[in-house]
Chain A
């Protein structure tokens, strides 16, 4: 056993180290080189070119406003929702779970597109509708603006902020509040003097994670920002590498270095805060439910907000896309619109060889990529949780590193690597890139699954006469199934909708769904885009359902506490 372990850990460090360190190293080398084909001589030219660009100041200001604004929106809304859900008697609490899970299944690019379809100034559905109202003939709410970008990105980052805040609020020890009230504070004063300060690490963690996500975001800046000529760093990098003949990977790498540095710094602060947070959060063991605050009169108005949010987050995007896929051009729903509906766009998509190829590629990447990714994650999580040596600490840091990787930057780094290998322009380059960038999404559910497998459960099997292999087969693996399934689902859905990395790495022949949708949006082919988008959502949902089904099959008895 001891010898097996001593081989396992270095092997994993080598694999994960390659996946995470390689793109960064290539990015650094690339930023000091002249062209993509050969590194050539060491040069600072790319940095000088990139950072003396007069447009850069505007881009940086835009980026800061966009990133801060959307994170504030996301964290504020998430805090409100989490508080309402865990601490008040608001009705229909199941909605909160839906709000927190479903948007993960709606790809960001489709969500952004649906808002363009609703609010673009020329023929957005809401704008068309408003213009019919007397006095609003010139009305045009323009989504192609910084505030539009902030709103949409904020809604997209809401689930991740909620997923951090809800457990923190749920495990909040009510006695802290009660003692404050006993000391004579009002509810509001208690909220600001006790509740929020105690939750501060969780709130900051949610905010910082939103910062990282919006900094790396490409869907919103490309679909909403670029048509409005509002550029942020992500789209700036994209334009350096994507504008036809003059692709400049060196300049992209030089800009990417700053984005990567900012992102890694933020994630470092995030990790510090979450480890600090454990000191604050008090978790009681006996299924303790905090008492709920009665909302009384405010109950239904507040529920109205939640209802509208869930409409806006889930129902509206899908509805708009489905509607757009059926009508010939943008028009508000009316009898005429319904009479003109047809499957024309769907048929066009099915007959489009590139769309079909992208469907095939994305399903392949989702299924094969998630399977390989989860397999790697099982071993990594095992070493991190169970071996706990100095080397496993290195592995943990390495496997967490890619959490801070902005897809587009890491895509540029990988480009410098793949162009030198036979993998260039193959589906395998995308596969490797995906696993490298999304490894934490597989490792985290599996690490918590391993934590739940108490060492006594394994030891007891040995005392009962079972060898290592039997113990693995009959005890460890069955207990890991829930973790494996959720890791697989997370990775598969991420891979099916992957945009930011693919937009750099995808070449003719290796088109994927999100990139094809992005192309449609650049060309304004909203009908085809919507049809392909609905197919994409359908594929994601099918994968999730399949994985859940397989997981249930392998789990004979429902999981205990």
Chain B
């Protein structure tokens, strides 16, 4: 089911100040995709999610789920949460401590007054799907964090909603469990063919899980796209910076032809792949991700984008060397192969592939 957010705004008043939680948001969440709202805390992503599910109402605008208007300021429509037929996994899981696993999961069906035997078979099916078969009679609070998370997922899925919402569901798990659960979740959701809206502030989670990522800041959607588009082809400095570690260098466009844009910057002239039309003199920001700054092999004859830099620091982290280099007094982060034979103080030639040089507006 497709979700449409049309001109939605919401303000909070706190300590005499107006905070724009949602600032004229327009968004279409396509059916049967895993759609992630990514942003720093306080950017409005959770507020948007709660508006979709109906636990909060915007000030103005309209929200449609599957073509049905569930909220509209103009037409004065408000479909209460319990009638929207959605599923949701809360950050705290919101497992009811006084019920066992079966009753937690069966609850949505019980409220729909489904016959008992049908409830039992539906709950069985869902618990098997989230790999919790046999846990029916356990008190829900006696489960591990990962299992509780799956109970919450089972409860959200049991009534077979067309849309499921996630509010930072992995943030209460420890690092290792979080990775495992993320993979599981991805498998479950792909199998189900369901529209999933997922809120997180964790960029890795967003990249690994999503079909589409929308980056939010200060109540606005800054940019939306597939994980690769957002990572490689961001149009905004904020997005490029938020989605991964990056070196941001001020630059000025010097020339552009059919396939490349050349800029002048503090580290010299850099040749970049052309993404947008720019005119010489445009002020832009050059984004160089640490993993794309590579050592120049001795035999390479390449002359484009070669920089001489001195290694300032170097930390071995197993899978790579992380460190800082200076190129013409500009400090850059690097991340290079762990088997490189380099040391602090070395003067080394580095190269960057023009395809990996990203230009964004300042």
Contacts and interface: CB of A to CB of B under 8 A. Distances in A.
Interface residues of B, number: 32
A456 B98 contact: no
Contacts, number: 75
Interface in A463-501: 463-467, 470, 474-475, 478-479
Interface string A213-233: 000000000000000000000
A460 B107 CA distance: 10
Given A454-B92, A557-B139, A560-B139, A464 B108 contact: yes
A558 B139 contact: yes
B37 to A, nearest CB: 17
B177 to A, nearest CB: 16
Q: Which of under 10, 10 to 19, 20 to 34, or 35 or more describes the interface residues of A?
A: 20 to 34
A479 B82 contact: no
A467 B139 CA distance: 24
Interface stretch (B83-91, B191-199, B231-239): B83-91
Contacts of B83: 465
A464 B155 contact: yes
A558 B86 CA distance: 30
A53 interface: no
A559 interface: yes
A465 B110 CA distance: 9
A466 B111 contact: yes
Most buried by B among A456, A457, A557: A557
A478 B103 CA distance: 14
A437 to B, nearest CB: 33
B55 interface: yes
B100 to A, nearest CB: 6
B278 interface: no
A560 B104 CA distance: 14
B97 A559 contact: yes
A3 to B, nearest CB: 15
B99 A557 contact: yes
A462 interface: yes
Contact of A457 (B54, B84, B94): B94
Given A557-B139, A560-B139, A479 B108 contact: no
Contacts of A464: 82, 107-108, 111, 155, 159
Interface in B153-181: 155-156, 159
B96 A475 contact: yes
Contacts of B96: 457, 460-461, 475, 479
A97 interface: no
Interface string B113-156: 00000000000000000000000000111100000000000011
Contacts of A467: 80, 82
A557 B96 CA distance: 10
B81 interface: yes
A561 interface: yes
Most buried by B among A462, A478, A558: A462
Given A461-B107, A463-B55, A465-B112, 12 more contacts: A457-B94, A459-B90, A459-B94, A460-B88, A463-B81, A463-B82, A463-B156, A464-B111, A558-B139, A559-B98, A560-B139, A560-B142
8 closest A-B pairs by beta carbon, nearest first, are A560-B141, A560-B97, A460-B94, A456-B94, A464-B108, A462-B81, A466-B111, A465-B111
5 contacts: A456-B94, A459-B90, A462-B55, A464-B159, A466-B111
